[in-house]
Amino acid sequence: MQLKHKIVALGILPLLLAVAIICALVLLQNQRLGEQQVQLIESAILSSKQAELKNYVAMALSVIAPLHDGGRGDAAAQKQALDVLGKISFGEDGYLFVYDDRGRNLMHPRQAELVGRDLWHMTDIHGLPVIQALLKSAMSGDGFQRYSWRKPSSGQETDKLAYVTMLDGWGWMVGTGIYLEDIERATRQVRSEVASGIRATMIAIAGVTLIVVLVVFIGSLMLSIKEHRLADRKLQALNQRLLSLQEDERSRVSRELHDGISQLLVSIKFQFELAAHQLQRGASGGLDSLEQAIERLGGAIGEVRRISHDLRPSLLDTLGLSAAIGQLATEFEQRCGLTVVCRQQLGDAPLPDAVAVALFRIVQEALTNIERHARASLVQIDLAPSVDGVQLQVRDDGIGFDPRTIERMPGGIGLRNIRERIEHLGGQLSLSSSSEGSAMHVVLPVSAS
């Protein structure tokens, strides 16, 4: 994946996961609250209907109380009471019914075909013996019973809640009931409203999520473009610096060849020509001129070796890092007149070529910086193994510098090169400096093999 795609994925995927979890929690919470609300509404409606049924039955009993309480138990009083109860109705499907204690129907204003029939063994669609259950509820004093019964207005079997009570003396069970379609309709409406609320909440969350995703995508895209441009600028600056370093190195080598080797070779050429001319004439001094030319030729060879050593020391390839750094320290001590203490604990342990070259160049660059800027009299070089690889420490007793600003200075290329070499190999660099001297500590990782 490209960087911009990774940024977008890291920004959007956790957001989508969080939104999905929130949506699931909101959905579950709304469903739970919706069911609680349905149960509360159903319970409230049922309680209201139960109180209403009790009032209807109490009203009916109060109407026939003069006939019942007057002590008249004859058939005429009972027939008059049944006529009065049969005329009482409330609503489209509200009526009273009367049964005796043996399950025989005495009055049913909406289903006349049931009057006089023994319904003791009649069951509803669920297998419940309706009349037995009603009598049991009436005799127990609870009075409420749910069952299925044919609704007069629709002719369909519907759940019904009845309230019944026993009329003492006559052995009657008087009751009424309501069909529960109203409660079911109310609960369906509540569930529909809850579902609508959940849908509205999900749509709102989806809209907010879409907006946030677009914002994250646009922000990530802008950040990616900005970082891409910054990386391009850094790459251009790095390429320019590499080209400048290459040109500087070429200029240095060219200058050394022109001012050193070239002048020596020209001088040697003139010396050989002078010796040849003197020998041809038989003049004295020809042999001396030839010896001087040979001596200068040896100096030229030494200069070529020095330039070659600066480009890549031969000891690094033949004897290893310890010998190459030791030679570098010796040459630096002879050239600058400083005291160099070089302590090495690597022994003959082989190092990867990249690590060995990096450590050599770091020491070379550090000594160059000390020569130019430190004004030191003592330099200490410590090379030793570490837990993760190899460590190098270079100390001097010079005037010190400010590590925070030295790399930002136009001439701070040397230290920047050191840092880049170390970062390329995955190592660590630490600098410390004061008026009493400076120290550079380098750790480069080396595999156990």
- Asked whether the predicted pLDDT for residue 229 surpasses 60, the reply is yes
CB 94 within 8 A of CB 178: yes
Contact 261, 297 (CB under 8 A): no
Q: Looking at per-residue confidence, does 307 or 46 come out higher?
A: 46
pLDDT recorded at residue 323: 83
What pLDDT is recorded for position 2? 64
CATH number at residue 399: 3.30.565.10
Is 278 a residue whose pLDDT tops 90?
no
- Total domain count, the chain: 2
CB 179 within 8 A of CB 106: no
What's the whole-model pTM score?
0.45
Q: Count Cβ atoms within 10 A of the Cβ of residue 287 and give its class: 0-12 exposed, 13-18 middle, 19 or more buried.
A: exposed
Element holding 376 (H helix, E strand): none
Helix axes 353-369, 321-336, angle to 10 degrees: 10
Identify the band that residue 310 occupies on the pLDDT scale cut at 50, 70 and 90.
low
Choose one of 166, 185, 204: the last residue of a domain.
Answer: 185
The DSSP-derived string for 87-145 is T-B-SSS-BEEEEETTSBEEE-SS-GGGTT-B-TT-B-TTS-BHHHHHHHHHHHT--EE
Position 69 in a domain:
yes
The 10s digit of each residue's pLDDT in 136-166 is 999 988 899 999 998 888 888 889 999 999 9
pLDDT of residue 8: 67
> What confidence tier does 97 reach under pLDDT thresholds 50, 70, 90?
very high
Tokens of 237: 């600056």
Q: Is 112 left (phi over 0), alpha (psi -120 to 50) or beta?
A: alpha
State the SS3 of 166-195.
EECCCCEEEEEEEECHHHHHHHHHHHHHHH
Residue 256, pLDDT score: 73
Task: Assess if residue 302 is contained within a domain.
Answer: no
- Residue 336 maps to a domain: yes
Kindly state whether residue 204 falls inside one of the protein's structural domains.
no
Select from 165, 185, 205 the last residue of a domain. 185
Residue 295 lies in a domain: no
| Residue 257 pLDDT exceeds 70 | yes
374 versus 59: the higher-pLDDT residue is 59
CATH of the domain at 10: 3.30.450.20
Other CB atoms within 10 Å distance of the CB of residue 107: 22
pLDDT above 90 coverage of the chain, percent: 22
Summarize the confidence of residues 260-279 as an average pLDDT: 82
Question: pLDDT for 234-247, tens place per residue?
Answer: 888 877 777 777 77
Tell me if 30 is assigned to some domain.
yes
- Whole-number percent of the chain with pLDDT over 70: 92
Q: Which of 122, 142, 138 is nearest to 130 (CA)?
A: 122
Question: How high is the pLDDT of residue 7?
Answer: 64
Torsion angles phi and psi, residue 108, rounded to 5: -150, 100
Please tell me which residue, 306 or 322, carries the higher pLDDT value.
322
Note down the domain range covering 377: 315-445
For the four alpha carbons of 324, 326, 329 and 331, in that order, the dihedral sign comes to negative
Q: What is the pLDDT of residue 309?
A: 66
At 6-29, the pLDDT tens digits run 766 776 788 778 878 888 888 888
DSSP letter at 411 equals T
- The mean pLDDT of 78-85, rounded to a whole number, is 90
